[in-house]
Amino acid sequence: MQNKEIKDIPFASELRTYVQDSKTFYCMPGHKQGKGAPEFLKQIWGDKVFSYDITEVSKSDVLAFPKKGLKFAQERASKIMGAQRTWFLVNGSSVGIHAILGALVKPGEKVLVHRECHKAVLMGLVFSGAVPIYLEPVPNLPEYAYGSVYLGKVEELLSQHDIKLVMVTSPNYFGISLDIAAMAEICHKHETPLFVDEAHGTHFAFHPDLPSSALEAGADYSVQSMHKTLGGLYQTALLHSSGREPEADERIDLMLSMLQSTSPSALFLMSIDAALAEAEKLGKQRYGDLLEMLTYLRPELHSSEFIVVEPPDGVLFAGGFNNFDPLKLIFRSAEREEINLIRIKELLSEKHGIEIELAGEKHLLLTLSLADAVDLEQTREKLIYFSKTIEQLVIDGYGDVEEEDDFVDNRELPIFEMTPRDAYYAPKNPVILSEAEHAISASMVCIYPPGFPLIIPGERINDAAIHKIYHDHGLGFTIIGIEEFDGELHIDVIDG
């Protein structure tokens, strides 16, 4: 058992042995295995958490130059996930995205970027100075959930420009997965590496009925959040390389040593190691059971007010769309033109103790994971309860919209005028949003969640975006990049 544990969970098991013997710490951290930790936290967390909050003491290895437990754990992770190399990340998928941009694209070089990307990609463009060419998103779910890209457009842009890297998001927040195999083929024909932001698809490797993982489909690099769909602590993630270009892997090493903390807590690193081992051990069985249960349950979850989007019927097969993550449950408003789902989400939390992933303009999104397979009968009953609860809340009028407006989202995108980096360094000042049409934005405006950009710094603001911000603000969405003062919404624009 002991040997198997060391083989399966190399880093976490080594630290367990280390921490079991009590020690005298004449080194950091200041709380010294919890002795000096705040009493309040000890009461609510217990002492144990602090004894594992160590870094770079003799057994904990060094993340930037791993030689022992962390090296073995990362090698094991790469085998499980089908990579040539895997790096453990302690600042989420975000830092993996930044490292890839820094390692593969020099300032001034071009990168093809899925415009429906997470803001981490755009921040990475500011850091790296890469010049983006945006790939317009193609709608795959009726209303509001954009996902894929046209493969023909990827081919066309790669033929026209000297592009150093293609970056796409797959799956997106709603589980829409791209045809990575076809995209990789196009990229490799042009000798351009393909990076997939697979932050939401870490579980794909663990069951054949889930979409293929990006690496399995032929991507060169991918990043996956361990905290989003597997059992890692928040902040944990994996960066993978298929090893096609060993020199680039060395630059990734360097980038990560610049971008990550030199004091990563063993809590994060142990959680990556142990969560991967558990998914490997239990994933096939548990995901299989959960997927089977959901197949029967989905039709029962429809109600007079919501339909559950059924893959593939509820999804538009447009662009490079390939598959859909069946562990995303999307309840789409069936009848109403306008509905306040933000209010419904709040009531679910306040009155029913239910937290959901996202409320959109027409959708409520639930994400399921291995945790929901532990007690399938309970999961089934709770989902039925959920479906009935949201139906009743809407029937009772809680989803009613006070003031309907005439907004129609035509998704006309703002036009690219300058790179996010140039916009970041340009002089700027705030203007009233309704007067900002035609100005160049210095703000990145995202509706949160999912956090995809409505306006990217360096884009010329258009009427469609302004209208959507007012509309979504009126519905109570969180909008970042917009400030409200003097009773008006403001946006930062480039001076002159």
Ligand X SMILES: Cc1ncc(COP(=O)(O)O)c(C=O)c1O
Q: Which residues bind ligand X (CB under 6 A)?
A: 92-94, 118, 120, 169, 173, 197, 199-200, 225, 237, 450-451
Pairing of strands 488-494, 428-432: antiparallel
CB closer to ligand X out of 74 and 169: 169
**Contacting residues for 325 by C-beta, under 8 A, at least 6 apart:** 171, 175, 176, 177, 200, 201, 204, 210, 211
Q: Is-contact 131 110, C-beta < 8 A?
A: yes
DSSP lists the bridge partners of residue 307 as 332
Instruction: Provide, rounded to whole angstroms, the least separation between the CB of residue 351 and ligand X.
Output: 27
Q: 55 or 93: whose CB is closer to ligand X?
A: 93
Pick the closer one to ligand X by CB: 228 or 343: 228
- Is-contact 86 239, C-beta < 8 A? yes
The residue whose two tokens read 């902040």 is 235
Torsion sign (Cα): 48, 53, 57, 62? positive
CB of 92 to ligand X, least distance (A): 2
The b-or-e profile of 338-364 (16+ CB within 10 A means b, else e) is bbbbbbbbebbeeeeebebbbbbbbbb
CB nearer to ligand X: give 238 or 373: 238
Give the span between the Cα atoms of 83 and 78, in whole angstroms.
5
Written as one letter, the residue type at 212 is S
Distance CA(449)–CA(228), nearest Å, equals: 14
- Distance CA(165)–CA(60), nearest Å, equals 35
Q: Report in angstroms how near the CB of residue 95 gets to ligand X at its nearest.
A: 7
- Nearer to ligand X by Cβ, of 225 and 340: the residue is 225
Least Å distance between CB 426 and ligand X? 26
Nearest distance, CB of residue 226 and ligand X, angstroms = 8
CB of 319 to ligand X, least distance (A): 17
Nearer residue to ligand X within complex by CB, 19 or 121: 121
Query: In this complex, which beta carbon is closest to ligand X, that of residue 80 or of residue 237?
Result: 237
In whole angstroms, the minimum distance from the beta carbon of 223 to ligand X comes to 7
Question: Beta-carbon neighbour count of residue 336 at 10 Å?
Answer: 14
Residue number, nearest CB to ligand X = 92
Query: 120 or 433: whose CB is closer to ligand X?
Result: 120
Residue with smaller CB distance to ligand X, 139 or 450: 450
Nearer to ligand X, 259 or 401 (CB): 259
Judged by beta carbon, residue 118 or residue 467, the one nearer ligand X is 118
CA–CA dist 414, 467 (Å, integer): 12
* Strand bridging mode 445-448 / 478-480: antiparallel
Nearer to ligand X, 172 or 241 (CB): 172
Which CB contacts under 8 angstroms, 24+ apart, belong to 129-138?
A: 129/419, 129/421, 130/101, 130/105, 130/106, 130/164, 130/165, 130/419, 131/419, 132/416, 132/419, 132/420, 133/157, 133/161, 133/163, 134/413, 134/416, 134/456, 135/168, 136/413, 138/318, 138/319, 138/320, 138/321
Task: Quote the CA–CA distance of 156 and 150 in Å, as a whole number.
Answer: 10
- If we measure between CA atoms, which residue out of 122, 214, 219, 111 comes closest to residue 165? 111
Least spacing, CB of residue 408 vs ligand X, in Å: 27
Q: Which is nearer to ligand X, 233 or 318 (CB)?
A: 233
Give the angle subtended at the CA of 312 by the CAs of 120 and 364, to the nearest 5°: 55
